Amino acid sequence: MKSHTEYLWFNTEKRTQILNITPQLEAALARSKVQEGLMLVNPMHITASVYVNDAEGGLYADILAKLEELAPYGKAYKHHQTGEDNGDAHLKRQLLGQQVTLAITQGRLDFGPWEQVHYAEFDGQRKKRVLVKIIGE
Amino acid sequence: MKSHTEYLWFNTEKRTQILNITPQLEAALARSKVQEGLMLVNPMHITASVYVNDAEGGLYADILAKLEELAPYGKAYKHHQTGEDNGDAHLKRQLLGQQVTLAITQGRLDFGPWEQVHYAEFDGQRKKRVLVKIIGE
Amino acid sequence: MKSHTEYLWFNTEKRTQILNITPQLEAALARSKVQEGLMLVNPMHITASVYVNDAEGGLYADILAKLEELAPYGKAYKHHQTGEDNGDAHLKRQLLGQQVTLAITQGRLDFGPWEQVHYAEFDGQRKKRVLVKIIGE
């Protein structure tokens, strides 16, 4: 069994922003030389999501608007009693989905035609890490 | 390490529908001959979910009603500016959960008494694929 | 390839409650002796979630309040026609997230500074199991 670990860094310009990170994951996979296996992609910060969906700007806006409707910024969350102001970001991460596991087949991410992996940041404007863990052969 | 890959095809009668796909996954597991490992079950289309919950018709109706309440069909989603009409389906997939990973123990899916795997389609009536990736030994 | 399987039991005092189960997972990892791999943590009951977020009491309250708002207890869910009263719990599980997969690097759970694994129970006060499946080397 082979294993391969990488840490990707992202720093979004806006507090809330979606990035297509598929190219970085494909590069990590190439470096791993794994042909058959699984790739876990997990944000190491708890105010962000990694999810798979269409790489389309209108959909990005729809996702952010829906999450803002369901868990608005600036409400009196109990988490704010610690001095934080990002209670909404912790909730948005859970509603969108925390992480994804991807299949590796014949050395490629085994995707349907529209599957792209995204990093969704809900408390950005600082450096954050995403873990890429590959196991296989 | 062994690996095994299958693609299951589904074509729902309705635009929005839930199917119990546990038997197909058990058949794929038997073909893999893996005794200990993990099985990733991932919809290859981004308007569908794979999730684990009770195989009960009332609950299926409750899940679809809740998702329709949270992300209604027919709203003016920005994604529709591309010509699509399925913005709700992209959002429903995220709220329900994108994919699942299952444990394989002694050659069986290692489930509690009520765990069943479902394919939830939100933009159906055409052929869609679900990826099954098994790794183990 | 090594594999290791454990079943953790939890019995919450309240119907709805969040427990930090990171110490139990670290103990299971130590017993597995796996250095590089993946750990699946999956509730074996379908009215509970396993999720990763901050271990902070205010956030626990915010998560439970948000889920109660989105899928209230005591509504006339169709699932209740079976005699159950926990339709809300099945829905809350899906909205929060069903399960997590964790990376194992150099014999440790490969976490960011605030990542902690939680068991969220939505229909408790009885014994429930969580599956821990580790594969790696």
Q: What are the tens digits of pLDDT across the range A63-83? A: 999 999 999 999 999 999 999
The contacts of residue C38 (CB under 8 Å, 6+ apart) are A38, A40, A133, A135, B38, C101, C102, C103, C104, C134, C135, C136
3-class state of residue A93 by DSSP = helix
Query: Mean pLDDT, chain A, as a whole number?
Result: 98
Q: How far apart are CA C20 and CA B28, in angstroms?
A: 35
Give the H or E element holding residue B38.
Answer: strand B37-43
Q: Contacts of residue A105 in chain B, CB cutoff 8 Å?
A: 5, 133
Q: Which residues of B touch C93 (CB under 8 A)?
A: 53
CB contact under 8 A, C133 and B110: yes
The reply to whether residue C1 touches residue B112, judged by beta carbons under 8 angstroms, is no
- Residue B30 CB coordination number (10 Å): 11
Q: Is C3 on the interface with A (CB under 8 A)?
A: no
Which tens digits make up the pLDDT trace of A24-47? 999 999 999 999 999 999 999 999
What pLDDT sits at residue C14?
98
pLDDT, one tens digit per residue, over B48-84 is: 999 999 999 999 999 999 999 999 999 999 999 999 9
Give the number of other Cβ atoms within 10 Å of residue C20's Cβ: 14
Please tell me which residue of chain A has the smallest CA distance to C105. Answer: A5
Structure tokens at B53: 């919950």
What does the pLDDT look like over C50-63, one tens digit per residue? 999 999 999 999 99
pLDDT at B74: 97
Please tell me the predicted confidence (pLDDT) of residue B46: 97
Look at residue C98 in the predicted model and tell me its pLDDT: 97
Shortest CA gap A11–chain B (Å)? 24
In the predicted model, what is the mean pLDDT of residues C89-94?
A: 98
Q: What is the pLDDT at residue A51?
A: 98
The arithmetic mean of pLDDT across residues A84-103, rounded, is 98
pLDDT number for residue A52: 98
**B:24-53 residues touching chain C, CB 8 A cutoff:** 36-38, 51-53
pLDDT category of residue B31 using cuts at 50, 70 and 90: very high
Contacts of B72 in chain A (CB under 8 A): none
Q: How much is the pTM?
A: 0.98
- Chain B residue with minimal CA distance to C48? B53
Cβ-based contacts under 8 A for chains B and C: 94
Three-state DSSP class for residue A42: strand
Chain B contact present for A14, CB below 8 A: no
- pLDDT bin (cut points 50, 70, 90) of residue C15 is very high
Model-level ipTM above the cut of 0.95: yes
pLDDT in tens, B95-128: 999 999 999 999 999 999 999 999 999 999 999 9
> What's the confidence (pLDDT) of residue B51?
98
With an 8 Å Cβ cutoff, are A59 and B78 in contact? yes
